[in-house]
Amino acid sequence: MALMGYNFAMFGFSNYGPYWREMRKIAVLRLLSNRKVAALAGSREVQVRAMNKQLYSSMPDVEMKRVLGDLTLSMMVRTVAGDVEARMGEEERERWKRSVRDFFKMMTVHTICDAVPWLGWMDRFGRMERALVDTGREFDSMLQGWLEEHKDTWSEAREDDDFMNEMLDVADTATQEFPHFDADTINKAMCLTMMVGGSETTAAVLTWALTLLLNNRHSLKKAQEELDIHVGRERLVNESDLENLAYIRAVIKETTRLQPPIPVIPREAGEDCVVAGYHIPAGTRLFINNWKIQRDPRVWADPLEFRPERFLTSHKDIDFQGLHFELLPFGGGRRVCPAVSSARRFAELALASFLQGFDVDTPSGEPIDMAAGFGTTNMVLAPIQVCIKPRLSPIHYA
């Protein structure tokens, strides 16, 4: 991340200290506050309705893994940089999508020097380093272009501003405290952190949720029945409806329990310490097997079964804000993902909107392959080919 992440200016990869604390404070209080999340509700609703409109025009056969990936990516770009995507031509749109996918792909690449730093010489001709640098430059060029557009039109920050505008209001002050990073770098690093942390993981949650529902049709039926009862089919579901959609919320929780978007949580000892009588030197890296914890039969009855109902009964008080250590899909402690609340709202809204809008089945009626891909994010490996048909009046897809 030193090569692709602005030399650790991305606070999600920074060591704990004054810079990390200040950037996280900005993220929590300025970019992800309850007021800011509520102010951007309209943007989220616009994105999911655009997805349903696209699906309606593509019926009956669609590949949902790509659709959901594009949805979450577009949502994060809109949140970070406003309506830049709407002003792009098709070629430019494909370029930035390719840049984002390349960035995520390179994040999952591990070399021997990650585990044994003094063996870095084995990348004899610097091929890996050049690939990382090239990917970082491509992404930086895209972010810098968006930032220059924002500078040209910037005015006093408003509650419904995108993140780049919000950061223009604070980056100059931050760079006075941390002069080793200029204002542009701090702004771009913060926006990149939000995009990296928000798009791929949310896409993974939605993709797994749909896969699990298709493989457990009784749960799919219950989710759609809940939507029919609390929302109906005469209007579209809104974010304000989510509080009444307890089963949809339970589906998202159970999905993140069975298939956490980040299956292994990395931590590093900042200083020498003693844990359970063992001396842990500073710099020791620990990888917490979150996937295993969330399938522990001592905590979860029938842990391999997809049962959203558990979060309405025996585990109704368990949340994934990082306070209940039996469910940590987004991490825990002071480094818990700061965007948990907004990611949950968007995942619930996207799933509810899709299930309200369409009946869905696999082409052959067979279960979907549950194999997962290899990488930092736990993603369904195979494409998700489905057949859909509308549940609403055509006017709701216009």
| In contact, 77 and 198? CB cutoff 8 Å | no
Distance CA 114, CA 205 (A): 28
Phi-psi region of 108 (alpha: psi -120 to 50; beta: other; left: phi over 0): alpha
Which tokens in the block code for residue 67? 């659709």
Which tokens in the block code for residue 268? 């590093």
337 known ligand binder: yes
Distance CA 335, CA 238 (A): 31
Distance CA 234, CA 213 (A): 24
Distance CA 322, CA 32 (A): 16
| In contact, 287 and 262? CB cutoff 8 Å | no
| In contact, 286 and 331? CB cutoff 8 Å | no
How distant is the alpha carbon of residue 347 from its chain centre?
9
For 307, phi then psi, to 5°, come to -135, 85
Distance CA 395, CA 162 (A): 30
Which residues sit in the known binding site? 337
- Binding site residue list for heme: 337
